[in-house]
Structure 1
Amino acid sequence: MSKHQIEILFIAGFGSSLIFGTFIGSIADKFGRRNNCLMYAILYGGACITKHFGNMPVLMIGRFLGGVATSILYSAFESWLIFEHNTSPIRFGAIRSAHYGGSMYTFVLEWTPALSRAAGDVGIPHGYIFAAFMVATMIGSSVFKLLQQHERPESFMRYVLLLAAVCLSMPIVAPDNLALVFGGFLVFEMCCGIFWPSMGCLRGTYVSEETRSTTLNLFRIPLNLIVIFILWQNFAMISIFKFCVFFLFAASIAQHALFLRTEHTPRHQKLPITVTDEDENM
């Protein structure tokens, strides 16, 4: 299967998420987040079954199911969790989420060719590299716990987004330096580990409970458009990373705007969801 065919499969997934995401979100708000989460399990289970076939139409169906399921994954579960814990600026959050998410999902497709180019004729161990990325993400989640004890996410996420932009600039400034490219990717994954819980806290603060699932899927519309645009054009790898860096800088600017809007708001209560050592040991 060629790289462009893989890109087409990615486009199918993000396209189905773009088209059906808002509709799926409204189902969760009207008929319950629990039922929507059960629907996710069925849809994603079907998507996984298609991975056992080497037929392009079957794989396209799987990507379609996976795209719809992803819309549920990134909206209904979080809405359900925040609702159970009982706990304008939204446009800045939407801009930041779209630009960061677009860069991150584009990175998912491009890290392999970037590292392969940096490694030259030497094959890269994809499994070990992916495992290293997951460890870096877990480290980032732990770093988030430390940061939120001293600063609000509105503040420290400005620097995290800037750092992420610098990390993804490595394939641009030093495309043949394996250590720099791989190190930059590891730090970027750590930034992802900080980003996700930060976004959960911010959405729990600013997004209305009554329409939370629908709003979160609306956030994903520009994200899906960004990824589809980049992949559909079949840009060169360096050009794709330039787009990613630009989007991350734009996300940092949006985050700074959110910070300026809320910096005088007293931190009179805890964020909607906090992680304690007791929770980790359960």
Structure 2
Amino acid sequence: MLWCDPSSPLSLSLSQHSLSPLLVAAMEEEVWDGPRWLYVFQIFACMSVLCSRVWIKGKSPFLDRVPALGRFTAQFAAFHCLFLCVFLLASLADGLLQVHWQALYQSYGLSTAEMMTLLAVGHGSSLFLGTFLGISSDSLGRKRASILYCILQALGCLAKLSSNYEVLSVGHVCLGLASSLYFSVFEAWMTTEHEKVGFKQELLSETFWMMAFASGIVGISSGAIANVLMEQQALSARAPSVVAGFVTFLCLLTIIFGWNENVGTLYGGLSKPLLNGIQALRDKRIALLGLTQAGFDLSIAVFWLLWTPTLVADGREVQTGLIYACLMGSMMLGSSIAASFLCGPYNVIPEIYVPYVLFVAGASLILPAYDYQDIPVLVTCFSVFHICVGIAWPSLARLRSIYIQNDRRATMLSLFRAPVSAILLLILIRGVSSTKFENSTVFSIAILGLMSGAACIRQIAQLRPASSYDNLNWRHRSDV
């Protein structure tokens, strides 16, 4: 997911920045929570961007070539809402599990090393088992795989109610497998069903940017719900996990009764989808897109590991909950901007602007990586990063819909995700050992991933036929 616990034990175990004693003493006198007008500004900015979309498109001579919300058919609107309902329920359940999980494990008496080991177990299962589970979903069926996701997620929720370390370990295995399915099967089901029903391919962009925008809302909501539950004296730290299990059950029911089954690769079990995926990687454009996606996902994961220790280095106090809401608002603003690029009125081909977005995202992490201590500047850098995330997320999804065939969609997404799990597993293992990575080293890995991604997208743009840029109604991979 795009969010995690603001006080991750991995974050707190990584090497801290250093400050002078005078600066520490000065910062301890006041808790920094950011200007209140910033949150109002973000809401106003999102509304302005979205409203300007409608106004400008109404005056655009290209209106007949640009999909607009007002031109959605009832059938597409129903499909759109059904998918987003499932996606947001799954995201909310995951978000509830991520918030305050450290407090839950501390109430069980677990040490930081034990918590980090559980995280490593989850990422290890995602890498070594979840990758192949995601690949097999193309032949198993995306609806069946989504149901399996809900079952694994529910088992993970139940396991968190136990203080037994072995049970928690099994729970993290289930959650690691569920995470692999989350990042592959939902998009694979949606894009395949979208094509099977016969909706226009350019309408996919409307779904992609709404996924990013709504994820910001879910991120804020999951934190707020978890905080309310934790403040109730009659409830324990287990309450968010219980609610997450209930939300997962609602997600399961919606999938069972609302979704149709679609299958990518018929027959072949695991071997046929895997061979299809390896064959697809021979296309240089898909391989470059995979490297970009891996670098982008890794930068997000690294950010959530390090943002809190960067802000609270050497005893500084900040309102992480309020700053977290600010970051989610920034992502929503970015997704609103992406809507203007992808769906009108500007209609910019993703290969043109995504390299600049990824470059700015990488540049925004340079100051945090090299020990800059001014909190307002750090929050500004983090906000810029999340605006870029909001733009890049739906834009990369649109590129995947152009270059990757639907019969191997879950396979390719699983292969793209595997390097991210491997690097995170390495960081976690090093975090438990005595040879921890420096914060600057981990941030540098994220920056390198983003800069490399920018170069990869530029290369994809050079490989794409020039004539395809003349067509605003982007086409399927078979046409490019």
TM-score by length of 1: 0.88
Which residue does the alignment assign to 2:389?
192
Residues 184 and 4 (structure 1 numbering): CA distance in 2 closer, same or farther, change over 3 Å?
Answer: farther
Change (3 A) 1:81 1:59: same
Q: CA deviation at 1:161?
A: 0.6
1:1-282 equivalent positions in 2, closer than 5 A: 4-86=113-195, 87=201, 88=283, 89-117=285-313, 120-148=314-342, 149-233=346-430, 234-262=436-464, 264-267=466-469, 268=471, 270-271=473-474
The answer to whether the Cα contact below 8 Å between 1:95 and 1:251 also exists between their aligned partners in 2 is yes
- What is the CA–CA distance in structure 2 between the aligned matches of 1:264 and 1:173, rounded to whole Å? 41
Whole-angstrom CA distance in 2 between matches of 1:65 and 1:159: 38
Other-structure match for 1:279: none
Distance (whole Å) between structure 2 residues aligned to residue 249 and residue 2 of structure 1:
36
Measure how far apart 1:265 and its partner are: 4.3
Contact 2:369 2:439 in 1 (8 A): no
- Assess if the C-alpha contact under 8 Å between 2:347 and 2:472 holds in 1: no
- Does the CA-based 8 Å contact 2:370-2:440 persist in structure 1? no
Name the residue aligned to 1:276: none
Q: Distance in 2 between matches of 1:227 and 1:154?
A: 28
Cα deviation, residue 3, structure 1:
5.0
Q: Are the aligned partners of 1:22 and 1:218 in contact in 2 as well (CA < 8 Å)?
A: yes
Going from structure 1 to structure 2, the CA distance change for 1:108 and 1:271 (only over 3 Å counts) comes to farther
Asked if structure 1 preserves the Cα contact closer than 8 Å seen for 2:292 and 2:453, the reply is yes
TM-score by length of structure 2 reads: 0.53
Shift of 1:168: 1.2
Q: How far does residue 78 in structure 1 lie from its aligned partner after superposition?
A: 0.4
SS in 2 for 1:127: helix
Query: Following the alignment from structure 1 to structure 2, what is the Cα–Cα distance between the partners of residues 159 and 239?
Result: 23
How far 1:271 sits from its partner (Å)? 4.3
Counterpart of 2:418 in structure 1: which amino acid? I
Instruction: Let me know the Cα RMSD of the aligned residues.
Output: 2.2
SS in 2 for 1:85: helix
Distance 1:57 1:116, change over 3 A: farther
CA contact (8 A) 2:427 2:437 kept: yes
Deviates more, 1:204-213 or 1:55-64: 55-64
Q: 1:272 to 1:13 in 2, by over 3 A?
A: farther
Q: How far 1:6 sits from its partner (Å)? A: 4.2
- Work out the CA distance in 2 between the residues paired with 1:72 and 1:248: 24
The one-letter amino acid of 2:416's match is F
- Report the structure number with the largest CA radius of gyration: 2
| Structure 1 unpaired stretches of 5+ | 274-282
**CA 166–53 in structure 1, closer or farther in 2 if over 3 Å, else same:** farther
Q: Give unmatched runs, 5+ long, in structure 2.
A: 1-109, 196-200, 202-282, 431-435
The Cα of 1:174 is off from its aligned counterpart by: 4.5
Q: Percent identity?
A: 30
- Cα distance, 1:31 vs. partner? 2.3
